[in-house]
Amino acid sequence: MKNVLVIYYSQSGQLESIARNIAKPFLNSEEINVVFHEIQLEKPFPFPWNKTTFFDAFPESFLQIPTALKPVSEEILNTKFDLVLLHYQVWYLTPSIPMNSFLKSADGKNILNNTPVITINGSRNMWIMAQEKVKVLLKEANAKLVGNVALVDRVGNLISVITIVNWMFSGVKKRYLGFFPLPGVSDKDIQESDKFGEIMLSEFKQNKLEDLQPKLAEIGAVKISPYLVTVDKTANKIFNKWSNFIHKNQKNRKLLLKLFYVYLFLAIWVISPIVYILHVISYPFKIKTIKKETQYYQGV
Ligand SMILES: Cc1cc2nc3c(=O)[nH]c(=O)nc-3n(C[C@H](O)[C@H](O)[C@H](O)COP(=O)(O)O)c2cc1C
């Protein structure tokens, strides 16, 4: 009997339904014992969010400052898992505070030590640099990253900003104003995500997890947008300055978060379209670098 642990955190339930779909083939296999672990916080984040709570989560998310978690069950702590499916979402270009806290916790490190891990990301669309941060945390926990799946909102970048913000601030996954597309990962992508589970299970059973990632990539588990990679990298540099500045000036936190909100609004609606135009113009000169980068980010 092999043991597989499915770890997730989800506010809306989106990532939980992804986790349950990906785990389906494992649950149908008689030789495998599947255990689910939902990360729970001592002090949960609000859902739905409002403007204040949403921006207040920025500095600590980006600076990867952990928060207290409820303890993991003894049953899980006393089991040696042969594989971990780690589902996380991105908050501010960084693994969400709950996932970051888990990866840095003693329980998390215990569970992950010397264990193969497949990461599954369910975010808006900007997850590349967050995955790089997860790679560092997994290394620190002595885990072995063997696969990655990224499920994203496939509508245009700016449209998904509008629809996801409306979803996060209302708590309801609905068509904003009646005509915008539904927010988040599409139902179809969620329903079909068991196809990734099938491949994971097959490689796992054959003890060939080191061959998993190219097979996942082949069926569309990680699609890379070179434009979003550029935005992600640039925004990381700027978020680094803002988050440190706000964190060090707690007295003026409220005011600085308001200024950050104005900055973010301009960055999304003014700067990112300009970056897009520059990206399109410079594309022919960067094809080689982009190909290399895409290959790297599609791997583990
Ligand atoms: C505070 C906050 C910040 C977020 N920042 C990002 C981000 O930087 N990149 C991204 O792709 N999605 C971002 N998202 C969207 C989440 O990754 C995720 O898709 C959404 O919160 C739904 O996840 P759930 O399963 O927890 O409900 C953010 C969401 C929240 C609440």
Tens digit of each residue's pLDDT (9 = 90 or more) over 193-214? 999 999 999 999 999 999 999 9
Residues 122/14, Cβ–Cβ less than 8 Å: yes
Looking at the chain, the whole-number percentage of residues with pLDDT higher than 90 is 99
How buried is 107 (Cβ within 10 angstroms: 0-12 exposed, 13-18 middle, 19+ buried)? Answer: middle
Closest atom of ligand 1 relative to the 54 alpha carbon: 1
92 lines ligand 1 (CB under 6 A): yes
Closest atom of ligand 1 relative to the 12 alpha carbon: 27
Residues 216 and 264 placed together within one structural domain of the fold: no
Residues 190 and 245 placed together within one structural domain of the fold: no
Among 38, 124, 159, 162, residue to substitute to test ligand 1 (most atoms within 8 Å of Cβ): 124
How buried is 169 (Cβ within 10 angstroms: 0-12 exposed, 13-18 middle, 19+ buried)? Answer: middle
Residues 150 and 279 placed together within one structural domain of the fold: no
Pairing state between β 94-95 and 90-91: antiparallel
Residues 281 and 149 placed together within one structural domain of the fold: no
Q: Say what the pLDDT of residue 76 is.
A: 98
Instruction: State the residue range of the domain holding 268.
Output: 227-297
Amino acid identity, residue 133? Answer: K
Residues 32 and 181 placed together within one structural domain of the fold: yes
90 lines ligand 1 (CB under 6 A): yes
Determine the Cα–Cα distance for residues 285 and 118; give it in Å rounded to an integer.
34
Residues 207 and 251 placed together within one structural domain of the fold: no
Q: Which of 88, 80, 64 shows the shortest CA–CA distance to 15?
A: 88
54 lines ligand 1 (CB under 6 A): yes
Determine the Cα–Cα distance for residues 247 and 253; give it in Å rounded to an integer.
7
Determine the Cα–Cα distance for residues 213 and 34; give it in Å rounded to an integer.
21
SS3 of residue 286 by DSSP = coil
The four Cα atoms 171, 174, 179, 181 give a dihedral, to 10 degrees, of 100
Q: How far is the CA of 107 from the centre of ligand 1 (A)?
A: 24
Residues 213 and 253 placed together within one structural domain of the fold: no
57 lines ligand 1 (CB under 6 A): yes
Residues 157 and 261 placed together within one structural domain of the fold: no
Residues 262 and 216 placed together within one structural domain of the fold: no
91 lines ligand 1 (CB under 6 A): yes
Phi, psi of 100 (to 5 degrees): -60, -40
Final residue in a domain of this structure, among 223, 255, 280? 223
pLDDT tens digits for 2-28? 999 999 999 999 999 999 999 999 999
Final residue in a domain of this structure, among 197, 223, 249? 223
Measured from the Cβ of residue 44, the count of other Cβ atoms closer than 10 Å reads 11
Q: Which of 14, 8, 207, 190 shows the shortest CA–CA distance to 95?
A: 8
What are the structure tokens assigned to 94, written together?
A: 């960084």
117 lines ligand 1 (CB under 6 A): no
Determine the Cα–Cα distance for residues 241 and 210; give it in Å rounded to an integer.
38
What average pLDDT does this structure show over 166-170?
97
18 lines ligand 1 (CB under 6 A): no
Determine the Cα–Cα distance for residues 64 and 25; give it in Å rounded to an integer.
33
What average pLDDT does this structure show over 117-130?
98
Q: How far is the CA of 85 from the centre of ligand 1 (A)?
A: 19
Final residue in a domain of this structure, among 192, 223, 254? 223
Residues 39 and 188 placed together within one structural domain of the fold: yes
pLDDT tens digits for 22-62? 999 999 999 999 999 999 999 999 999 999 999 999 999 99
Residues 25 and 145 placed together within one structural domain of the fold: yes
Going through 130-281 in order, the beta strands assigned E by DSSP cover: 144-151
Number of domains the chain contains: 2
Nearest CA to ligand 1 atom 5: 91
CATH number of the domain encompassing residue 185:
3.40.50.360
Residues 132 and 198 placed together within one structural domain of the fold: yes
